[in-house]
Structure 1
Amino acid sequence: MEWLSSWYPQPGCPRPSVLICLLILTTSFLTYPTLRTIGLQLHSAITGSYVSGTHSVVFVNCPNEQIAKDIARAILDKKLAASVNILPKAASLYFWKGEIEEATEILLLIKTKTSKVFMLSSYVRLVHPFEIPEVFSLPMDQGDVQYLKWLEEGMEED
């Protein structure tokens, strides 16, 4: 009977089954993003639908419309994006060198592949007149499949 007592924990100790359940729950929680990504990619491959995060929208503020147009054209010429919207007159308030500044800026909404965001950001920093240009991106979660295919085609190298 002594061998039987070794299978059961002492009073006050959690049972092995509880520990296993906690381990499984913790592992599931920590691996969920990876499992979700793999699941979406498999679903996309089988059904031909969109993989979330493949494309991104990049936001860039410019000091005036001419600079915004110049940057937008250069980005498109270099195939760093497929589409750029120029939104006029965004009122901006921000801290700069310890002071609150206020400016009217032009906002670029740049649609690109997520894989091109780093190159796009680097290029914008080279050509932008601001000391520290505002460049950030958000991945697209969903979208019209035909539009996203059109984006892909717009960035294909010649």
Structure 2
Amino acid sequence: MDKLSSRCSVPGSSRSCVLVCLWSLAASFLLYPVLWTLGRQLHSTLTGIYIPGTYSVVFVNSPNEQIARDMARYFWNGVIEENTEILLLIKTKTSKVQLLSGYIRLMHPFEIPEIFSLTMDKGDQHYFKWLEEGIAKN
């Protein structure tokens, strides 16, 4: 405690120095997530490189089709859009996602098709074995 109080620039007792140090440490922990997020956004903006974890996919349960349609309205080019879309799930190796994305962009009618990948971290090992065997054949 004497070493700490001898280095502390806060006048007064060593107890106030400890409190100041604890406050600084707590503020650092509280600000870390904010500074980390701002740093990631700045890096992404300057380099044009997508940072994993920036966006999320949200799955929403709906009691009926009408409520799902009401929730699915979105803004596009300043206009509220309501379209019917079909979700296509393609399972592949993560290493092949870029190649698959290129193929989809060639085939898709939209200027910017909605293409993203979610890694499968957990699941049934029998399914993963079956998937590996199916991908290896192609």
TM-score (norm 2): 0.48
Bigger relative contact order (CA 8 A; separation at least 6)? 1
More helix by share: 2
